[in-house]
Amino acid sequence: MKGILLAGGSGTRLRPMTLVTNKHLLPVYNKPMIYYPIETLVEAGIKDIMIITGNESAGDFLNLLGDGKKFNANFTYRVQVGSGGIAHALSLCEDFAGGDSVMVILGDNVFDSVFFDNKPNDRINGAKIFFSKVLNANRFGVPTFDKDGKVIEITEKPENPASKYAVTGLYCYDNQVWDIIKTLKPSGRGELEITDVNNWYIKRGQMEYEIIKSFWSDAGTPKSLSLASNFMRKKANKNLWKL
C-alpha cells in the first residue's frame, strides 16, 4: 500500500495567516501541521508517500520535508494546478500508485497516534473510511446508517445531519478508484468530490468503516487549529506539569 498526502488548497478559512504561507506549514503546537499526517501514514506502515501541493508553495514543502528520510519514508512530489477538489488531486497519483492500494490523508488532519484496529494490508478490496463523533457534523461529510449499523450514504455538509459522525480526511482505496474518478462530474463548487467516490463504493457494498475513539481534528479553521494545538500541547507536557 502506498500513501498519498493532499496538501493543496488556498486555506481561505485561515486567512490572514495563509496570505503568506500554505496552511499545512502553520504550526500545530511545536511542529508544522503537515508533520502530523506524515506521522500517521508512517505509523500505519506506509513508506512510499506522494505529496500533492499547489505550485505557489511547492518549494517550501521541498525545503521543509526533503526526500522523506528523516521520517523513515520516501517522498515524491506533484503539483496540483488550481483547486479541482480532493478527488482531482487524488487523480494525479495514479501512475505513482502503480496498481497498489492507497491510503489517502488530507494535510490538515491531525490524529492522535495510531488508531487502526488492524494496520492496513498491502492490498485491500474495496475501500475503507474513518469516522469521528463530533459536535458540528454539518461541517463535514456525514454518514447515514441503517438499523444494522451499515453505512448507506455519505452526505456532504448537510443542514440536518443524519448522525453525529464526521468522515475524517483519511481514506483507503483499491485500484478501482482511478476509474471511478474518471466518471465523476464537477459538483456545484466546480470540484470533483471525494464524497462521490465514497458513495460509489457504498452503493456497491464495497465500503468498510472504522470509528476513531481517540483525538481527531481537521485543523482547517482558527478554532479547530487552536483545538489541535492545545491537544498536542497537553499530550506533550502531561508528564511535566498538571494542566
What is residue 123's predicted lDDT score, i.e. its pLDDT? 65
Report the candidate in 132, 150, 115 with the shortest Cα–Cα distance to residue 44: 115
pLDDT tens, position by position, 171-186: 999 999 999 999 999 8
Q: What are the two backbone dihedrals, phi and then psi, of residue 7, each rounded to the nearest 5 degrees?
A: -130, 40
User: Could you tell me what percent of the chain has a pLDDT over 70?
Assistant: 92
pLDDT digits over 94-141, tens only?
Answer: 999 998 999 999 999 999 865 555 555 556 789 999 999 998 888 899
Residue 133's CB is within 10 A of a number of other CB atoms, namely 13
CA angle (75 as vertex; 74, 81 as ends), nearest 5: 165
Report residue 216 CA to chain centroid gap. 11
Rounded Cα–Cα distance for residues 212 and 78 (Å): 30
Convert the pLDDT of each residue in 201-224 to its tens digit: 999 999 999 998 889 988 888 988
- Domains, the chain, ranges and CATH? 2-124+169-237 (3.90.550.10)
pTM above 0.75, yes or no: yes
